[in-house]
Structure 1
Amino acid sequence: MIVRLLLLGYLSIIALIVLAPDPIDSAYRAEEIALAAFLRGSGLISLQYWQMELAANVVLFLPLGLLLTISLGRSRISLWLPPLFGAVVSTAAEIGQLLLLPDRFPSPIDVISNTLGVVLGWCIALPFRRSAASAEIDGPVEGDGRDAEHELSEQRDGFSEQSAV
């Protein structure tokens, strides 16, 4: 339940960021370009502004893949839905920017980098999806073939066999 609430909150934050009338970094663009120029000039890192933006998009969407995969638990849908969902959400956001927000700059590179972020989050979460789905935080896993009544029946049968000996 907590993971699903985090996912809902995160989707809301992403919606606010991608559908804001002005780019979220518009107030800091000059500083970002200056930072990239400083890093290049110092020889520390050779970054261009577009590379910083691409990395920021990947990092922004990585938690979406992580949270979505964990919230789906060990269901088969968790094996394919997060990357598809990431691509659809990213494409819809860029189309929305194109049609509704004249001050935004939609780009196919944004779709690719956003989707890459979701895919990376999905890859990180896949090994943990079973344990997270069965954790007490989210409650029992549905469809695991062992409901409470069946478990009680087995315990009674085992007890009666022991007392009969």
Structure 2
Amino acid sequence: MAMAVPLALVAFWPSPVDKPISGQLAATLGFLHHHGVPRWINYTIVEAGANIALFIPVGFVAALAFPLKKWWQIGAFGMLISGCIELGQFLFLHDRFASPSDVMTNTSGAVIGALVAALSMQEGRAAAFRQRTSQEK
């Protein structure tokens, strides 16, 4: 529940959440490009990365909450949440832009979170097994 509040604030803020810092972001990207960072790392890439990062915790927590679900099912859940957010933005927030690419990047973040959770749970089981077998010796 604690993660739902920040997600809802970012998703349903009346204006784009990056609007107050868009000038600083452009200046930072210009500085980085001037110092050797490739120009293909631009606002679109930063926004996509932010969308992925925003949904990694969604996938991680969902995978822990529903350990019998497969990674792609958690990804579908992330897609459902993202689709609802984009639909809400389209219907109710005229200064925001609903975007299929946001659904794709948000879903990718949920899948990454689910895979990280699956790997950490698998590692936890392996560590428990190693500890059990070392105690039996």
Q: 1:79 to 1:108 in 2, by over 3 A?
A: closer
Aligned to 1:32: 25
Write the deviation string for residues 2-45 of structure 1: whole angstroms up to 9, x where unpaired. xxxxxx11122211110111111111011111111211121134
- How many residues in Structure 1 have an aligned counterpart in Structure 2? 123
Aligned to 1:116: 108
Aligned to 2:15: 22
Work out which of the residue numbers 43, 48, 54 in structure 1 matches 2:48: 54
Write the deviation string for residues 71-121 of structure 1: whole angstroms up to 9, x where unpaired. 223x2x344431111001111111110110001111111111111011111
Displacement over 2 Å in runs of 4+: 77-81, 127-132
* Mapping for residues 16-165 of structure 1, pairs under 5 Å: 16-46=9-39, 47-73=41-67, 75=68, 77-129=69-121, 131=124
Give the % identical residues. Answer: 32
Give the conservation status (yes or no) of the 8 Å contact 2:87–2:98: yes
Aligned to 2:2: 9
Whole-Å separation in 2 of the counterparts to 1:20 and 1:81: 28
Give the conservation status (yes or no) of the 8 Å contact 2:56–2:112: yes
Give the conservation status (yes or no) of the 8 Å contact 1:37–1:48: no
The TM-score normalised by the length of structure 2 is 0.81
- List runs of 5+ in structure 2 lacking aligned partners: 126-137
Give the conservation status (yes or no) of the 8 Å contact 2:71–2:111: no
Whole-Å separation in 2 of the counterparts to 1:62 and 1:40: 28
The TM-score normalised by the length of structure 1 is 0.68
Q: Which moved more, 1:44-53 or 1:101-110?
A: 44-53
SS in 1 for 2:46: helix
Give the conservation status (yes or no) of the 8 Å contact 1:69–1:129: no
Whole-Å separation in 2 of the counterparts to 1:120 and 1:100: 29
- List runs of 5+ in structure 1 lacking aligned partners: 1-7, 133-165
Amino acid at match of 2:111: V
Structure with bigger gyration radius: 1
Write the deviation string for residues 99-144 of structure 1: whole angstroms up to 9, x where unpaired. 1000111111111111101111111111334658xxxxxxxxxxxx
